[in-house]
Amino acid sequence: MKCRKCGQRAVFNMRRHKLALCAEHYLEWFPEQVERTIGRYRMFTRDERVLVAVSGGKDSLALWDLLLDLGYHAEGLYIGLGIDGGFGYSELSLEKIKAFITTRPEAVLHTVDIAKTYGQSIPEVAAHKRRGRGKPCAVCGLIKRYVMNRVASEGDFGVLATGHNLDDEAAVLLGNTLHWQTGYLSRQAPVLEEKDGLARKVKPLCRLYEREVAAYAIVKGIDYIYEECPYAVGSTTNRYKELLNQLELDSPSSKLQFYINFLKAKEQGFFQPAEAQVELHPCENCGQPTTAPGLCTFCRLW
């Protein structure tokens, strides 16, 4: 297959666009797509400070690398979860991030190790709390959200960016739709605006397929951790991803259409947020915004 732009040998073929590109032109095409998404949803400008949540995986490292290339002020945040999974998942993730920043001397990395900061790793907290019994994802999600918001507010970052790609978003959308989670549907978006001290949350890769992000990371020479978090293996979200992959195989672009048409429906007024918007106030212990009276869910957990 030949590159549509220059006729050289193509390294990557995107069925959904009927577009094959060589390495050089793929490295041009991909950032253009991300830049377009950032502009289309007014995610942030070059004057804003962006905190990128990095896990050591392809999506977050590709995103960070790309934002630096595009001239954005993007600093990284790594949260050490203390997850082993028999192969040192958390340690390996941090190693990949450290290797990445040696290739980008301008990159600033913030790290928060959960066990060192709060006394217990994610699997340890999960084992002791009703909320996390059996599966630590519930406590993990809560803790990550809290730490991201805290670092963003302490470091004066107005924007928090995550590496969620189209496959992630489409899988979450499928889950929310199957259960008609109207509250979640009203909040699922490429941008969640800032509110009462909580940073704006953005997903600049939300219109790009997972395999497109992986191809970008590989062509760009970014070394990332291939293994998923051991607790993600066999998760419902992964099952939804498999279903959507099947669908995509039979009819290319269906994943993208599913997500994009959902966003269009939202713009037209479907999935309105519930009337009574809950007020946020500072937690009595840590000062972070919360809807819960008294202590926030994070402080209550510990």
Residue 137 in the binding site for ligand Q46 (CB under 6 A): yes
Q: Which one, 137 or 263, has the nearer CB to ligand Q46?
A: 137
How close are the terminal C-alpha atoms of the chain, in Å? Answer: 56
Q: Which amino acid is at 12?
A: F
Query: Hey, how many other C-beta atoms are within 10 angstroms of the C-beta on 118?
Result: 16
Q: Which of residues 104-123 bind ligand Q46 (CB under 6 A)?
A: 122
Q: What tokens does 276 get?
A: 């009574």
Among 39, 88, 119, 141, the residue binding ligand Q46 under the rule CB under 6 A is: 141
CB of 24 to Zn ion, least distance (A): 5
Residue 57 in the binding site for ligand Q46 (CB under 6 A): no
Q: Which amino acid is at 246?
A: Q
Among 57, 136, 190, 204, the residue binding ligand Q46 under the rule CB under 6 A is: 136
Q: Counting beta carbons within 10 angstroms of the beta carbon of residue 121, is it exposed (0 to 12), middle (13 to 18) or buried (19 or more)?
A: buried
Among 3, 114, 122, 185, the residue binding Zn ion under the rule CB under 5 A is: 3
Using the contact rule CB under 6 A, the part of the chain among 26-34, 102-110, 134-142, 206-214 near ligand Q46 is 134-142
Q: Which amino acid is at 143?
A: I
Among 70, 109, 192, 286, the residue binding Zn ion under the rule CB under 5 A is: 286
Residue 232 in the binding site for ligand Q46 (CB under 6 A): yes
Q: Which of residues 25-44 bind Zn ion (CB under 5 A)?
A: 25
Using the contact rule CB under 5 A, the part of the chain among 31-39, 106-114, 213-221, 294-302 near Zn ion is 294-302
Confirm if 23 and 11 have CB atoms less than 8 A apart: yes
| x/- map, 224-263, Zn ion, by CB under 5 A | ----------------------------------------
d(CA 17, CA 164): 21
Confirm if 231 and 239 have CB atoms less than 8 A apart: no
d(CA 71, CA 73): 7
Residue in this structure with the two tokens 């959200």, named with its chain if needed: 145
Residues in the site for ligand Q46, rule: CB under 6 A?
81, 122, 136-137, 140-141, 229, 231-232
